[in-house]
Structure formats: structure tokens, C-alpha cells
A and B are shown apart, each in its own frame.
Chain A
Amino acid sequence: MRHLLQPRVLKGASIAAAVSAVASYPRLVFWLHRPAPLWYLEATIFVCCILLWGFVLAWHEPYTHRPVFLLKLDLMPLSIATLTGLGTAVAFHLWLDPSLRSKFPEQYPPDLTHWLASVPFILGFNQLFLIFAPFDWLMRLAKKRWVATTLTGLWGAILLALKLHSHLPCWR
């Protein structure tokens, strides 16, 4: 906990949370059936992101010995990430998207404006919620990379399973 409560971490987490909240704004504007006012959703994202970015900024470097932000990337990881990113995009487009689109049509942007609104949300909030914060929280908890990696991968699958389950037709 001593890492999490450092002023440096809290300041960085607040700035990063503000960026995440701003990045989420266009996506929230396009959300047709919002359960709460826009300002309330923005405030909720901001407060939650302070905690999530706090996990990242407090525990990533001490437990993985890797920086959170790298200014200069090596060619090899960049090449592998590019190839796997393109490969995954093709695999999703061919095999996963057709079935997911029929289940969650609202999550697929119908035009370029919606796409431009959804990408900052995915970059600023989704990956923080699905990968960065859970991985660093698990690293702090388990102190083993393979445990944190496995459970982070499973976390995404569990959320997807819950989402699929909630979209099943109700027979009663």
C-alpha cells in the first residue's frame, strides 16, 4: 500500500484518469440509452480510473521491473506486436465478428464517426480495465508473472462469458 499512497502516484493517477475520462466522452455522447446523466458517467469514470491508474503507476515498475510508458520502443517487440495485431484483426474479422455482431450489434460502429468516438474509449478505458489494472493488481498479489498473465487472460474471458450470458433470451 505504501506505493499506492505516494503523492507522485496519486498525482499521476489523477492526470491519467482525467485523460481517460476525456477520451471516454465521445463514446458516452453516442450512448443512446444512458442509465444516468452524462456528467455523472464522466465523474464515475474519472473516480474509478484514479484507482485503476493508481494500481498501474504504483505497482507495475516495482513488481515487473518494466516501465509503464516507454518513449523509445525496440524494433523486435514493435514488429511482433504489429504482426500479431494485424493477424488478430484478420482472425476477428473472419471468425469472431460475424457471431459477435449478431449478439452485440450496438458495439459495432455503424459509420466512421462512431468508430472515431469508440477508439479513444477503448484505448483510454477498456485496456486499463481489462489488462493494465488487473495485471498489476495480480502482480502485486501473486508476485509471479505467469500467475498474473494467466488470470488476466481469464478475466477477459470471464467478462465476455458474463456478457454473453446476460444476452441469452429469458424464457420465464
Chain B
Amino acid sequence: MLAGRVVTGFLVVWCYLQGGVGLVCWWTLLLESRHLLDIV
């Protein structure tokens, strides 16, 4: 669980450096969309 958190942290920092805040928001939106599988 903690290793997963570290890896996602690295991924988000990479997105931040490559595409700024906008790319991180897009990446986060995709990640959070997984909840829709349970809700809808």
C-alpha cells in the first residue's frame, strides 16, 4: 500500500514537470473516475 503511494507520487511529479498543473488534474480525474465503476 505504501509502495503504491510512493509510485503514484513519482508518477504525479512526472506529470507535474511535463504538463504542469493541468496534466496532474487530468491524471487525477482518471484515477478518481474508478469510483464511478462502483457508483453507477
Contacts and interface: CB of A to CB of B under 8 A. Distances in A.
A131 B17 contact: no
| Chain A residues touching B, majority SS | helix
Contact of A112 (B23, B30, B40): B40
The number of chain B residues touching the other chain, given as a range, is 35 or more
Contacts of B22: 69-70, 73
Interface residues of A, number: 56
A111 interface: yes
Nearest to A73: B19
Interface stretch (A31-39, A42-50, A85-93): A85-93
Interface string A82-123: 101110111111011101100000001111100100110011
Given A92-B31, A115-B39, A123-B28, A100 B1 contact: yes
A161 B28 contact: no
Given A69-B21, A89-B33, A157 B16 contact: no
A68 B40 contact: no
Interface of A: 56, 64, 66-70, 73-74, 77-78, 80-82, 84-86, 88-93, 95-97, 99-100, 108-112, 115, 118-119, 122-123, 126-127, 130-132, 135, 145, 148-149, 152-157, 160-161, 164
